[in-house]
Amino acid sequence: MAERLHITTAIFYSNAPPHVGSAYEALAADAFARSRRRRLGRSNVTFLSGTDEHGDKIRRAAQAEGVPPRQFTDRLSAVFRRAWDGLNVSYDYFVRTTDPEHEKFVQQMLTRSQQRGDIYFKDYEGLYCVGCERFYTEKELLAGGLCPIHNAAVERISEGNYFLGLEKYRAQVIDHIKRNPDFIQPERYRNEALNMLAEPLADLCISRPKARLDWGIELPFDSNYVTYVWYDAFWAYLSEPASRDPAFATEVFPTTHHFIGKDILKTHAVYWPPMLLSAGLPLFRHLNVHGWVNFGGQRMSKSSGNVADPVSYEAAFGPDVLRYFLLREVVYGLDGDFSEPRLIERYNADLANDLGNFTSRVLSMAARYFGGELSCAPALTGDAEDAALASAFSELVERVDAQIQTLAFNRALETIWQALDAANKYIVQTAPFTLAKDQAKMPRVAQIMSNLTEALRVVGFALEPFMPVTSGRMLDLLQVDEAVAAAPYGQGLKAGHKVKPATPLFPRIDKSKMG
């Protein structure tokens, strides 16, 4: 059986539009999915995103706008979907937690846990953060009783609720993490999760009384309660695929890579595994945790208001620019910083100067000297310069994909740019524009151009996980199909192949004319 892989972003809370920080998660997961598809095959990789639409925070946001919660979430979910589509996030499933399939699946999982004796009712008093939609213990709060995530006061709530027993599964979860060192990655988050699991776990409150909150999925065993939004949202990772394929939960879900932010590590490392085990399901393969994208040195978040609209950057700078900047600039697992001046610097230096100029030079010389037609195949050996170029581009895609596999997106892009540097150095060393002045040296120019055009093809294909629109444009200029695009260096373009004239990929931005 072919290897399968399931990839998910977090299920984004739809109380406000997406920002650059949430886009980073979607783009990292998308680059990973695209890379895995070309290794495992398109049909063997599924990629899921979606919106989390229940809970008190949604209800309050809808009330503030004077509209029903469903109308509010319909609008916000559509905004997320358009944003991901505009950024070419290639999801296979976009799940809404208000979808009937999802609601039914959640009720099935609740029933499973109840039948195992893991769910019970009790009266409870706790400290509740509306922003997090969860209860905190006093020792988890900041000085002054503030939420550690939102730096805001919590509310003391007393009510009867249903709870899911977590402690009975703690040892099993710890054992799984220790036996699978890469279950949570990078390693710093694995260690943090083990610290969270080091002491006995308080049971998880999984309901809200309808008398206080009626916007949620009704409990299948008590119509006076709705499901806690976090319990509800987790099941979106598999509810829709599992509704279509009964074997998904047991055969495909264990291959899952979850991409999440560090602020929801506890919910995914401490709550989610016991929820799965309680429902009689296997655990996922990896929890890939990223840092925050800061804006002006502060965390970018909806609650702070310092958000940057990813769609506006796509409109202002063109396709793939935001994708490239975030995946090149931010080290996965660490916090990164976003600024428009830095984005423009990357655009001009990396995209306009390096990639754009190289593409234009190669295609322009091919058109000028040979009418765009290659007269020989690329050389793997021969002149020292040719051999050095072949060395830089041989197995480039394999090296890039290996780095993507370890979540080193920035290093993967650096690897591609190192190959670009080698190609630009090759142009300087071989000087085809000088050789072309001597008719007797045109055979050598023809070989140089074949080598450079082949290098351009490999770059175009290597970039696809990161810059799918740009990759498509480059491969279109080279007039290659999918099979030729994926060929190893030296086995792609053949004698007689014709390429299109150059067109600008990334015109330089004049910073003096920016507002």
Domain presence at residue 325:
no
> What does the longest C-alpha to C-alpha distance in the chain come to?
92
Q: Which of 73-82, 142-151, 382-391, 397-406 has the lowest mean pLDDT?
A: 142-151
| pLDDT score of 18 more than 60 | yes
Residues 6+ apart with CB under 8 A from 96: 50, 51, 53, 73, 77, 102
pLDDT over 70 percentage in the chain? 97
| pLDDT score of 95 more than 70 | yes
Mean pLDDT of 335-349: 94
Numbers of helices and strands, H then E, in the chain:
21, 17
Cis peptide before 282 (omega within 30 of 0): no
**Same domain, yes or no, for 39 and 180?**
yes
Give me the amino acid identity at 1: M
**Same domain, yes or no, for 242 and 377?**
no
In 10 A of CB 325, how many CB atoms? 27
**Same domain, yes or no, for 219 and 252?**
yes
Domain presence at residue 92:
yes
| pLDDT score of 138 more than 80 | yes
User: Model-level pTM?
Assistant: 0.93
In 10 A of CB 487, how many CB atoms? 16
Residues in the chain: 515
Residues 6+ apart with CB under 8 A from 156: 125, 126, 127, 128
| pLDDT given for residue 307 in this prediction | 60
Tens digits of residue pLDDT in 311-338 = 889 889 999 999 999 999 999 999 999 9
Q: Which two tokens stand for residue 3?
A: 């290897």
**499 strand-pairing partners:** none
**CB burial class (10 A; 0-12, 13-18, 19+) of residue 210?**
middle
Tens digits of residue pLDDT in 25-63 = 999 999 999 999 999 999 999 999 999 999 988 999 999
Mean pLDDT of 104-124: 96
| pLDDT score of 461 more than 90 | yes
**Same domain, yes or no, for 380 and 252?**
no
CATH at residue 290: 3.40.50.620
Domain that holds residue 84: 5-317
| Closest C-alpha to 26, from 311, 251, 302 | 311
Domain presence at residue 163:
yes
Domain presence at residue 330:
no
| Closest C-alpha to 32, from 331, 288, 329 | 288
Q: Look over the chain and give the mean of its residue pLDDT values, rounded to a whole number.
A: 94
Domain presence at residue 326:
no
Q: How confident is the model at residue 184 (pLDDT cuts 50, 70, 90)?
A: very high
**Same domain, yes or no, for 236 and 382?**
no
| pLDDT score of 134 more than 80 | no
Q: Which two tokens stand for residue 165?
A: 């027993």
| pLDDT score of 304 more than 60 | no
Task: Using the 3D structure, point to which of 317, 348, 380 is the last residue of a domain.
Answer: 317
Domain presence at residue 327:
no
Tens digits of residue pLDDT in 247-286 = 999 999 999 999 999 999 999 999 999 999 999 999 999 9
Tens digits of residue pLDDT in 408-447 = 999 999 999 999 999 999 999 999 999 999 999 999 999 9
Domain presence at residue 333:
no
**Same domain, yes or no, for 346 and 296?**
no
**Same domain, yes or no, for 60 and 180?**
yes
**Same domain, yes or no, for 85 and 160?**
yes
| pLDDT score of 296 more than 70 | no
**Same domain, yes or no, for 473 and 343?**
yes
| pLDDT score of 305 more than 90 | no
| pLDDT given for residue 303 in this prediction | 54
| pLDDT given for residue 512 in this prediction | 67
Residues 6+ apart with CB under 8 A from 4: 40, 44, 45, 46, 251, 252, 255
| Closest C-alpha to 209, from 245, 148, 162 | 162
CATH at residue 422: 1.10.730.10
Give me the amino acid identity at 180: N
| Closest C-alpha to 7, from 46, 51, 54 | 46
| pLDDT given for residue 149 in this prediction | 79
Residues 6+ apart with CB under 8 A from 63: none
Mean pLDDT of 460-475: 98
Domain presence at residue 157:
yes
Domains: count for the chain: 2
**Same domain, yes or no, for 407 and 507?**
yes
**Same domain, yes or no, for 479 and 427?**
yes
**Same domain, yes or no, for 98 and 157?**
yes
Task: Using the 3D structure, point to which of 250, 282, 317 is the last residue of a domain.
Answer: 317
CB 291 within 8 A of CB 41: no
| pLDDT score of 245 more than 90 | yes
| pLDDT score of 365 more than 70 | yes
| pLDDT given for residue 423 in this prediction | 97
The larger pLDDT score, comparing residue 307 to residue 38, is at 38
